[in-house]
Amino acid sequence: MAAEAGRGGIDLPRRFAGSMGALLGPDFPEDIGLAVSGGGDSMAMLHLAAGWARVYGVRLRVATVNHGLRNESAAEAALVADECRGLGLPHAVLRWEDRPAGGNLMDRARRARLELIGRWRGVCRHVLFAHTRDDQAETVLMRLARGSGVEGLSGMAARRRVPGPTGLHPIHVPAGPPRPATMEGGWEVVRPLLDTSRAELRHYLKALRIPFVDDPTNEDPAYDRVRVRRALSMLAEEGVTAEGLAATAARMGRAREALERRAVEAARALLRPDPLAAGTLVFDRDGFAALDADTRLRLFAAALGHVASAEYRPRGAALEDAADRWLAGGTVVLHGGMGIARGDRLFVCREPKAVADEVATVGDDGATWDRRWHLSGSEIRGMEVRPLGEAGLAQLALPVVRPPRETLRGLPSVWAGGRLVACAPLGHGPAHIVRLLPPRGPFPDVLLSH
């Protein structure tokens, strides 16, 4: 390992440039963000990126997230700020002010970090993160312990899109076709150090005398990753190395990409557009049932995540059980979505109970409801957006031929007190505009990792 670190320290800038070229070249973005915590890996990335950016004429912006979980956080952010001043780079400290109680603290901190960076990034569509080969190996080992499949064992992707509104998809409303509109999309996490070991970066820091801090939680066995890191050091004696696990992740990543492409082709063949089922995905039942098991589960998981704007797919056992019952003709609820079988069609819609308490008020710029619907118009300004529900359905005179009732209960509708004013997807109420904003992008493109 010492020899590897010595060689790596010498050619790290060249390898970093090669990685950036493979990930973002040859036409590099004008602006790139960096997430720098002050730890060794991210401080090494800061200096590598600064040198690379000077050569390629790329502007860098740096952010440090202060979660406020440790007393040392402010000093670590100050350390990053000092280094950025020396490198001539703009730096911002992002503070996690509204920390909710309960739940998995590390997971909430990770989500908060992405949300804060997403707000900060400005024109930067790409933000570099300093995950290393060792981080990749630890991730694979943790997921292996949980019994993960291809997705989990493919580890962290070198590029990963963070969801954001990718387009406003208009729903026909009583006033006629709405005007075209677009909305800026999400951004990408870019990991240029996934082929670099932690030891190589430490050697680089030492050789250039770059300051960094060691987070004490990296030695705290209360955290899963710390225990896995220790286990990995022992497994190395048996030939289970970080390099080997990272190589496995790369091979599983290629397999995942092939499976994703096959699933997209299947989805396009089986989707059945239904203008009466706004926001609902409709599939050909016989064709869906004829798919191989992996593709069926992949499609079902993606469909549930799409209608619920969920970041992660459901757990494997729960997904398999729900898919079996759905294909057998049942109605299932999972992951904020609902699967319904009717005749020769399979429906996936938003679970009505999941949005029962969702309320938004229409302002001058409209209102976003349930993360994926946007409503606007002078005729509904100041009114509340709520789910249609049974109360709304009772106020509508619907024709007999309609999608399953469950697919309608979760639709956005406009209310004045207890009176239903409008539900544009069903052609009810005064003229206004309703658009569908899937945060993760259109279906079935969401099946693709990038």
- pLDDT tens-digit readout, 105-124: 677 788 889 989 999 999 99
Residue 113: other Cβ atoms inside 10 A: 18
Q: CB of 47 within 8 A of CB of 76? A: no
- pLDDT tens-digit readout, 219-249: 777 777 778 888 888 888 888 899 999 999 9
For residue 4, what are its two tokens?
Answer: 């590897």
- pLDDT tens-digit readout, 132-153: 999 999 999 988 888 888 888 9
| pLDDT confidence of residue 180 | 31
Q: CB of 259 within 8 A of CB of 448? A: no
Pick the range with the lowest mean pLDDT from 162-166, 300-304, 339-343, 389-393: 162-166
| pLDDT confidence of residue 108 | 79
| pLDDT confidence of residue 249 | 92
Q: CB of 349 within 8 A of CB of 388? A: no
pLDDT of 71 > 90? The answer is no
pLDDT of 401 > 90? The answer is no
State mean pLDDT over 394-417.
Answer: 86
| pLDDT confidence of residue 399 | 66
| pLDDT confidence of residue 109 | 82
pLDDT of 80 > 50? The answer is yes
State mean pLDDT over 401-412.
Answer: 87
| pLDDT confidence of residue 346 | 97
Alpha-carbon gap, residue 376 to 181, rounded angstroms: 12
The sign of the dihedral angle between the CA atoms of 125, 129, 133, 137 is: negative
How would residue 104 be classed by pLDDT, with cut points 50, 70 and 90? low
| pLDDT confidence of residue 347 | 97
pLDDT of 177 > 60? The answer is no
Which has the closest alpha carbon to 138: 206, 205, 197? 197
Q: CB of 337 within 8 A of CB of 351? A: yes
Pick the range with the lowest mean pLDDT from 4-8, 170-174, 261-265, 317-321: 170-174
pLDDT of 3 > 60? The answer is no
| pLDDT confidence of residue 73 | 87
Instruction: For the full predicted model, state whether its pTM sits above 0.95.
Output: no
pLDDT of 184 > 70? The answer is no
pLDDT of 255 > 50? The answer is yes
| pLDDT confidence of residue 9 | 53
DSSP lists the bridge partners of residue 66 as 95
For residue 293, what are its two tokens?
Answer: 């098991």
| pLDDT confidence of residue 171 | 42
Query: Own/partner pairs for 364-367, CB < 8 Å, 24+ apart?
Result: 366/433
